[in-house]
A and B are shown apart, each in its own frame.
Chain A
């Protein structure tokens, strides 16, 4: 067998982040194998950039397809190598699994995970820029209130605004795309950063608050104590231990794989039951934890 693994991540950016602990385990188990990752969108590339466990990161879009034609035919037609098509949601996790999606991916890779932590790597330059950008602010909380995968992930805009009003000592920085709704009272950095820059800002902020999105997954890479709101998806599959995952467990949830992009027909109770007070309490708790960690580092 050829000494290489060729990996095809499927799904969005968050799904790609979920793969990183397994890629690390794969490299540790087979240090003599070359790991090649094919990406189909820039977001997937951004996740794997500078990852020391990946030997080659290749563009798999139509425009670049011809470059790897021979290589691809070698495993699709001649079946010479072992590709990993990481389609870990071919059976939705909420249907039969009681484990986290990170463990489901590890099963595809046939590896045992020593660490279940997501991995993201930045250059010195990226890190310096993020530190400089956050320097003027105190008690920084990155906000990401939008998820492309489902409208049922969202919490009412008025709730976010009320949360900001009730915590005037914190600097809320809203990240995301310019097309996402603006939260009044937060620093509006939507559309002002590249995706990797946004991730690096997250690394050097004090906390995170948001919905189940790629940024929520990224907090895990930095052990950031954040707060994540779950409604139509379950923290059993998608939550991270570094965060306080607020989930009301209404009977119809998780419904993400059933409703997909459609709006909840029941009135979105799972997210409406989450109060501003719930989120505020959790965020204060996480900020205090962060401050304690910072003080420990100084001592």
Chain B
């Protein structure tokens, strides 16, 4: 039971993190095309990929 709660807590944390990443991507997209930073975009892309996968795995654990 405790483990389930911990997983739910973790999922909420990860979802918030994905929201923050999406907001940062949207902010980057509001800049003019060549003003967008390649380093920032690369960082956000990697972060999103990791957290999305983590989210998927946690959901799987919860459902199991």
Taking the closest CB of chain B, its distance from the CB of A259, in whole angstroms, is: 14
* Interface contact A90-B53, CB-CB below 8 Å: no
Instruction: Name the residue in A91, A107, A251 with the highest tally of chain B Cβ atoms < 10 Å from its Cβ.
Output: A91
Q: Which residue from A94, A96, A108, A251 sits with its C-beta under 8 Å from B29?
A: A96
Report the nearest B residue to A99, measured CB to CB.
B29
Whether B41 pairs with A91 at a CB distance below 8 angstroms is yes
B44 touches A96 (CB 8 A): yes
Chain B proximity of A214: nearest CB distance (Å): 24
* Contact residues of A between 69 and 122, Cβ < 8 Å to B: 90-91, 94-97, 107-108
In the complex, A36 Cα to B32 Cα: how many Å?
A: 24
Verify if B42 is at the interface (C-beta below 8 Å from A): yes
* Structural contact, A91 and B53, CB atoms closer than 8 A: no
B45 at the binding interface (Cβ < 8 Å) = yes
- Contact in complex: B34, A95 (CB < 8 Å): no
Chain A nearest Cβ from B59, distance in angstroms:
14
A251 touches B33 (CB 8 A): no
Q: How far does the Cβ of A220 sit from chain B's closest Cβ, in whole Å?
A: 23
Question: How many whole Å from A91's CB to the nearest CB in chain B?
Answer: 5
A90 contact set on B, CB distance < 8 A: 34, 38
Q: Shortest Cβ distance from B19 into chain A, in angstroms?
A: 15
Distance A251 CA – B57 CA, assembled complex (angstroms): 12
Min C-beta distance of B41 to chain A, whole Å: 5
Q: Closest Cβ of chain A: how far from B12's Cβ, in Å?
A: 23
A30 CB to closest chain B CB, in angstroms?
19
Contacts of A251 in B (CB 8 A): 53
A96 near B45 with CB under 8 A, answer yes
Distance (whole angstroms) from the CB of B6 to the closest CB of chain A: 25
Docked Cα-Cα span, A90 to B31, in Å, equals 14
Residues of A near B45 (CB, < 8 A) are: 94-96
B58 within 8 Å of A by Cβ?
no
Q: How far is the CA of A97 from the CA of B41 in the complex (A)?
A: 10
Q: Is B15 close to A, CB under 8 A?
A: no
Could you mark each residue 221-264 of chain A with 1 if its beta carbon is under 8 Å from any beta carbon of chain B, else 0?
A: 00000000000000000000000000000010000000000000
B44 touches A95 (CB 8 A): yes
Residues of B close to A95: CB separation below 8 A: 41-42, 44-45
B57 to chain A, nearest CB (A): 11
A90 to B42, CA, bound (A): 11
Shortest CB-to-CB span from B52 to chain A, Å, is 9
The interface residues of chain B lying within 8 Å CB-to-CB of A97 are: 29
Assembled-state Cα–Cα distance A95/B48 (Å): 9
Answer yes or no: B14 CB below 8 A from chain A CBs: no
Residue ID in chain A nearest B34 by CB atoms: A90
Shortest Cβ distance from residue A40 to the other chain B in the assembled complex, whole angstroms? 20
**B1-46 residues at the A interface, CB under 8 angstroms:** 25, 28-29, 33-34, 36, 38, 41-42, 44-45
Q: Mind listing 12 A-B residue pairs with CB under 8 Å? A: A90-B34, A91-B36, A91-B41, A95-B42, A95-B44, A96-B25, A96-B29, A96-B36, A96-B41, A96-B45, A108-B33, A251-B53
Pick the 5 closest A-B CB pairs, nearest first: A95-B45, A91-B41, A95-B41, A96-B25, A96-B41
Extra inter-chain contacts (13) besides given A94-B45, A96-B25, CB under 8 Å? A90-B34, A91-B38, A91-B41, A95-B42, A95-B44, A95-B45, A96-B29, A96-B41, A96-B44, A97-B29, A107-B33, A108-B33, A251-B53
